[in-house]
Structure 1
Amino acid sequence: MTAMKLALVTGANRGIGFEVCRQLLKKGFQVILTARTLEKAQQAVQQLGSEKVTPVGLEVTSSESVEQLRQWLEATYGGLDVLINNAGIYPDEGQSILRVPVDTFREAMNVNAFAALELSQALFPLLENRRGQVINVSSEMGAWEDLHPSTSAYRLSKLALNGITLMLSRAGRGRVAVNSVCPGWVRTDMGGQDAPGTVEEGAEGIVWLAEQVRGTGQFYQHRQILPW
């Protein structure tokens, strides 16, 4: 890597997001680690113990917070190489679509899909400046063939995120690459301790994508292309 690339990771104070930051730093990236509050981001940065990572408070569902981040990024760096939309919630584990309140669907869509869209829209010009890429952390649970009626709010939000990935990839073709990636079921607060994969394994596929542009408009898991 001839020049230090700049990556921004949302929801990065724990779990997969935190591990992605750790691995990116090992690969020589400069990293912006965001969490819902600056305090949480600062605590995570202290754990990483690197001068190449900067903590930022970002409420992904707040347009004001997103705009403040955009202005700061533009003034400080003038561009961005990689945006990793990792922030997400898992609000309805195992619940049937017949019983999940519609408000839960709205919440899942706002955090898991619309927040990623708004942040991508805001930062697209900065990514264009460096021919960068957007990586949306999705799930195979949002694939068409896996749309079972349980955990339905989460599934639908990831289906929407995959749709956003495809549309953004077509809007940015030749300028900004946009892909989805499924980290798999891994042992995190969200995934639980019964998951078969480690957080390191889940993060590895995301970092692999971040290292260089590998096409656009694709859905990856473990370096392999998945069907939508």
Structure 2
Amino acid sequence: MAKIFITGSSDGLGKLAAEKLIQLGHSVFLHARNTEKKEVLAGQITEAADILVGDLSKMEEVKNLADQVNAHGKMDAIIHNAGVYSADSATLFQVNVLAPYSLTALMELPKRLIYLSSGMHLGGRPIYRKEDLPSINYSDTKLMVSTLAAALAKRYPNTLSNSVDPGWVPTKMGGKNATDDLQKGMETQVWLAECQEKEAMTSGHYFFHKRIKPFHEAVNDPIYQERLLGLCESVTGIKFK
């Protein structure tokens, strides 16, 4: 039985992944943005190990959330599932990039890290200067997320770190017109979090439906990786050990 924490698990892909991992016998720690969502989630998934609360758009709450996770001891896997699509540039950067960056830096390093990216990262720009942040868009943030996963795979060789494209699925974010399969959209992150197969025990890759796919050329660029980590550190004041 593994201990697994999933951000943004009160609905959508995060909730589906949590339900599947619990069904597989794992100890799953859920995350809700506020106490109201926690109460609703508690009534829906009664087998959760715990439901932790924190608004990822607020840095102080991100730090508090990391403390809550650490209080439960080291996780075996962490799925950074939470994200926003329709938001201003500051919120996009905070929730989609700074939150997973900060949580990873502040929590005990697990055996496996999984970051939810998007096929839209292929249209992203490799932004690494503060002055460019006001123009940041969703694709840019997902390029940053995939780059973060790849950078950490190099920095921490004893931790498996990968990013996942779940596809365009009919969640609250994806909308009802989404054309990809919702169940398949969550299977890869579950597989990477708990499977012992050789194919899942790899690092530094970008997956779609359990298959390694090509990523944006900037993702594996060591110069961009270090500039991105430097940007996140300069904005948050949080540094990887």
Number of aligned positions between the proteins: 201
Indicate if the aligned counterparts of 1:13 and 1:35 stay in contact, CA closer than 8 A.
yes
CA distance in 1, matches of 2:190, 2:143: 22
Structure 2 gap ranges (5+): 126-135, 216-241
Give the aligned partner of residue 198 of structure 1.
Answer: 181
Which amino acid letter does the alignment assign opposite residue 62 of structure 2?
Answer: V
Give the aligned partner of residue 131 of structure 2.
Answer: none
For residues 76-108 of structure 1, the C-alpha deviation after alignment (integer angstroms, 9 at most, x for no partner) is: x3211111111110126xxxxxxxxxxx23321
Is residue 57 of structure 2 the alignment partner of residue 78 of structure 1? Answer: no
SS at match of 1:11: coil
For residues 108-133 of structure 1, the C-alpha deviation after alignment (integer angstroms, 9 at most, x for no partner) is: 1111111110011111x342xxxx11
CA distance in 1, matches of 2:204, 2:5: 20
TM-score (norm 2): 0.77
What is the aligned-residue RMSD (CA, Å)? 1.9
Which amino acid letter does the alignment assign opposite residue 195 of structure 1?
Answer: A
Structure 1 gap ranges (5+): 93-103
CA distance in 2, matches of 1:202, 1:11: 15
Indicate if the aligned counterparts of 2:124 and 2:142 stay in contact, CA closer than 8 A.
no
Is residue 116 of structure 2 the alignment partner of residue 137 of structure 1? Answer: yes
Is residue 155 of structure 2 the alignment partner of residue 171 of structure 1? Answer: yes
SS at match of 2:19: helix
TM-score (norm 1): 0.81
- Between the aligned residues of both structures, percent identity stands at 30
Change (3 A) 1:64 1:14: same
CA distance in 1, matches of 2:160, 2:50: 24
Deviation of 1:29 after TM superposition, in Å, equals 1.1
Indicate if the aligned counterparts of 1:45 and 1:53 stay in contact, CA closer than 8 A.
no
CA distance in 2, matches of 1:10, 1:88: 9
Is residue 1 of structure 2 the alignment partner of residue 14 of structure 1? Answer: no
For residues 118-151 of structure 1, the C-alpha deviation after alignment (integer angstroms, 9 at most, x for no partner) is: 011111x342xxxx111001101102xx449xxx
5 Å-filtered alignment, 1:180-219, equals 180-212=163-195, 214-219=201-206
1:27 to 24, 27, 34: 24
SS at match of 1:206: helix
1:161 to 142, 145, 151: 145
Is residue 60 of structure 2 the alignment partner of residue 67 of structure 1? Answer: no
